[in-house]
Amino acid sequence: MPRHLKVTSPLLLLPLLLAAALLGPSRASAANPAELLDGYVAAARAPADARRGQAFFTQRHGAEWSCASCHHALPTSAGQHASTGKEIGALAPAFNPRRFSEPAKVEKWFRRNCKDVLNRECSAGEKADVLAWLMTLKP
């Protein structure tokens, strides 16, 4: 083992082992919306509700925008950022297979967009509900 990687105490490994256990292989390598949904449902400790997800997506929550402000009420085609005008690809996974395929990007965009819509981060249950609804949208 290289000298700079030598661990002299098992206690020094604890944070790394804990992080690996929390991320686990499914979270670190999830590559499809169903796996992400399963993770959100597990974290929320409640089933996802697609109807609640649609309502959440289309309603404003005290902030200036709703999710639909940029993604449209039916996010099956390209949207447009409400302030910059930048095109945003279709959000529904059946219409954009790259959506919800990279967990780090999914979390990054949920964090940013939830802060715009809610003035806070979304809960795991809110993410589960929205993703469950998006997964119901088919061509």
Q: Which two tokens stand for residue 52?
A: 């609640």
Amino acid (1-letter code) at residue 130 = V
Given this structure, which CATH class describes domain 31-136? mainly alpha
Q: Are 131 and 39 in contact (CB under 8 A)?
A: no
Q: Count the neighbouring beta carbons within 10 Å of the beta carbon of residue 53.
A: 23
Rounded CA-CA distance 41/47 in Å is 6
The pTM for the full model equals: 0.76
Per-residue pLDDT reduced to its tens digit, 89-116: 999 999 999 999 999 999 999 999 999 8
Would you kindly state where each structural domain of the chain is located, as residue ranges? 31-136
Range among 48-52, 67-71, 96-100 rated most confident: 48-52
Confidence of residue 65 (pLDDT cuts 50, 70, 90): confident
Rounded CA-CA distance 30/72 in Å is 27
